[in-house]
Structure 1
Amino acid sequence: MMQPGDYLMLFCCIALWLVITPSCWSQGSATRVKVFQDGQLFAELDLAAARTLAIAGPLGDTVVEVAAGRVRIVSDPSPRQYCVRAGWLTQAGQSAICLPNRTSIQLIGNQPLAYDSLTY
């Protein structure tokens, strides 16, 4: 049986959880994108400037589009198109990787990331 104080404590815990969760999981908006080809930095672009970039890889060209503070891989010759399906990336720490063509993009912001998905 729960007492009135138990309901109050449960409400306080849920409210605290709702307040803390967004601040812990948000990485902030990105300001730049790093484009890698075969493990080497190919280009570092500002997200404020609209631009389309074609990167030659072993299978063909991967096309990266930067527009309105976001970035995406428009086309890639890889068979499964996972990096294209990632869609628009906007937050620091997000990335899209085209393994068969050895191309990837990674968004970076003003502050260093507390963690990333590769080392987590």
Structure 2
Amino acid sequence: MSRGPALRAWLAAWARHLRAGDLLVLGLAVGVCVASALALWQGGRPDKAVIRAGGKVFLEVDLTAPRLVEVPGPLGSTRIEIQPGRARVAADPGPRQYCVRQGWLATAGAVAICAPNQVSLALAGRNAAYDSLSY
């Protein structure tokens, strides 16, 4: 059974009740929602990168100058590349390379975790993109 005619009839019934002002208010509401999401759902500019190995802070690096950091882990060495305002895991001995696929991290609160090698990279700043994460 097709729902097309029933849906069209339902939409036609609603369309008879809508006025130009209603459409204007609906359009403004959608615009405010989109503008709010774009403006407020962004992390701040990161100040430093926090590199952890084995659950402990290995190094805190300022994000002002380019730098390569080699972090030892149980599987081998993880290479982290730092550029002004961003950082990434350039190479990792882990089998699936999820942390390498994260690419460049550029907002405060962004994290790349290399679980098999027990290495993580997190960007810290004044304003994170979120307060906490839950799974």
Q: Decide: shared fold, TM above 0.5.
A: yes
RMSD across aligned C-alpha pairs, in angstroms? 1.5
Contact 2:47–2:63 (CA<8 Å) still a contact in 1?
yes
> Which of the pair is proportionally richer in helix?
2
Shift of 1:114: 4.5
Does residue 65 (structure 1) correspond to residue 81 (structure 2)? The answer is yes
Q: How much identity, in percent, do the aligned residues show? A: 39
- 4+ aligned runs moved over 6 Å, structure 1: none
Output the TM-score relative to the length of structure 1: 0.92
Contact 2:49–2:60 (CA<8 Å) still a contact in 1?
yes
Question: What are the Cα deviations for residues 79-112 of structure 1, in whole angstroms up to 9, with x where unaligned?
Answer: 0000001111100011100000000010011236
Shift of 1:23: 2.4
Contact 2:45–2:127 (CA<8 Å) still a contact in 1?
no
Shift of 1:119: 3.5
Distance 2:34 2:127 in 1: 24
Q: Which one-letter code corresponds to 2:101 in the other structure?
A: R
SS in 2 for 1:84: helix
Name the counterpart of 1:16.
32
SS in 1 for 2:93: coil
Counterparts of residues 84-103 of structure 1 (less than 5 Å): 84-103=100-119
Output the TM-score relative to the length of structure 2: 0.82
Distance 2:65 2:41 in 1: 27
- Equivalent pairs, count: 119
Does residue 46 (structure 1) correspond to residue 62 (structure 2)? The answer is yes
